[in-house]
Amino acid sequence: MRLPSNRLFWAVSLGHTTNDIFMSMRSVLLAFISAYVLPMSNRQIGLAISAGELVGAFSQPFFGWLADKTGGRWVGALGVAWTVSGIMIAMLVVAAGGSYWLMLIPLALAALGSGAFHPVGSMHAAESDKLRAASNTAIFFMFGQVGLGLGPALAGMLLNNAHTRYNDLFGTALGPAFQGVFIESGSVTPVLLLWLLVIPAPLLMALFIPSRRQHEGAARARRPAADDGPARLPLPVKVLVILAVAVMFRSLANPATVSFIPRLFQLKGWSPAEYGLLTSSFWIASGVAGVLFGYLANRFDLRYIITGGLLMAAPAIFLLPVLEGGLAFVLAVVVGALSGGSHSLIVVLAQGLLPGRKGFASGAILGFIFATGAVGNLIIGDLADRIGAAPAFQVIGIITLAASFLWLALPAPKGRSVTPRLEGAEVQRG
């Protein structure tokens, strides 16, 4: 596998890692806060994550349009800084004794930064090497998944010793009647040290993302090629509806389930470091699998790749709540890899439908994925409060199994896959 050498690619990839480190640690932070600082229900945890996802989702098409117009230098760079600052401000509110609703405001608004960055990063990852647009996009998303993997582990390690352990110290000695009777407390202040991680990525993006003048010059140079053919093809309503429904059900399996993995295993008695590492395993597996899925799409029908991944992920989702120890880690890796590996394929497909508007296409499809994931968070949170966290996961496993066949209802791509057509198109236009 040949890695990109373009500095622009590495700048936006580092931005992706930084942005997603902080976005992914929210589930661990909320699980910790609910146990040791500010009691919350599963529904409230789901609402806190979903509010942010919806803010980011609905803003992405606008920021994608803006990226197409300006190149997105400051949209991307300031977006990453905004993400980190919003989450850290929310933690300052919690540390100062603020309420749930005061915490929710900056936590939700932080996702505006993520909504600004993603279409800019996706566009420039693909455009940095036109001959390898699909594989570059897959690698770019792998860097995001690495960030999603690092965030929960970092938060878990920092918070592992930031709470009392009265029940562990005295509950066993005093007998079963005293198990869980002591009120535990904790602090989120250790995670504030992570604010320093924000500095390199926005700086490099501001240096290497083209200015508006450079971007407009490049757009004028390629406009004749970008305005013909695929950009003008009609988009069948039936295909779009099937795709929307398929993405919606996929979002229950990924990313919605991972928002509640920390809560699920916290209720089983795992420490913040343990359920943080478990969540990280999910995301890292998803990123590595995304690159593999991208290369498989060069050879095979992507409908079967996505369907097969979800079919195999469904039993793992169903069994994850009932397993402990090493087996739980194995299943978290399986669920992350098989349910999340198709993420970049969906984005490249959307970019191929609008080759002259890649920023807008990236923002629109990512916004929809995040929005449906936000709805999934609300559904799982409500189910967990009604029937329990473990049964909620098993319901999602059954739904994932049934809905995975929806991808086969989409029309078969011409040739063998979407990816080679896109790369071939770039070769012809280059």
Contacts for 169-174: CB closer than 8 Å, 24+ residues apart: none
Neighbours of 407 (CB within 10 A): 24
Question: For the chain, how are helix, strand and coil distributed in percent, rounded to 5?
Answer: 80, 0, 15
Question: What totals of helices (H) and strands (E) does the chain contain, helices first?
Answer: 20, 0
At 2 the pLDDT is 64
Note the pLDDT tens digit of each residue in 401-416. Answer: 999 999 888 776 554 4
Tokens matching residue 360:
């807008």
Note the pLDDT tens digit of each residue in 255-306. Answer: 888 888 988 888 888 888 888 888 888 888 888 888 888 778 777 777 888 8
Side-chain-facing half-sphere of 243: CA atoms under 13 Å: 18
Note the pLDDT tens digit of each residue in 71-96. Answer: 888 999 999 999 999 999 999 999 88
The CA distances from residue 44 to 97, 377, 394, in Å, are 18, 10, 21
At 198 the pLDDT is 84
Tokens matching residue 2:
């040949």
How big is the chain by its Cα radius of gyration, in Å? 21
At 209 the pLDDT is 87
Side-chain-facing half-sphere of 136: CA atoms under 13 Å: 25
Comparing 34-38, 129-133, 399-403, the range with the smallest average pLDDT is 129-133
Note the pLDDT tens digit of each residue in 336-361. Answer: 999 988 887 777 666 665 666 666 76
Over pLDDT 90: what percentage of the chain? 23
Over pLDDT 70: what percentage of the chain? 79
At 19 the pLDDT is 94
Cα angle 33, 118, 4; round to 5: 120
Tokens matching residue 206:
């501001």
Place of tokens 């690698």: 139
What domains appear along the chain, each with residue ranges and CATH number? 7-429 (1.20.1250.20)
At 83 the pLDDT is 95
> Which string of DSSP letters, residue by residue, matches 214-247?
HHHHHHHHHHHHHTSGGGGS---HHHHHHHHHHH
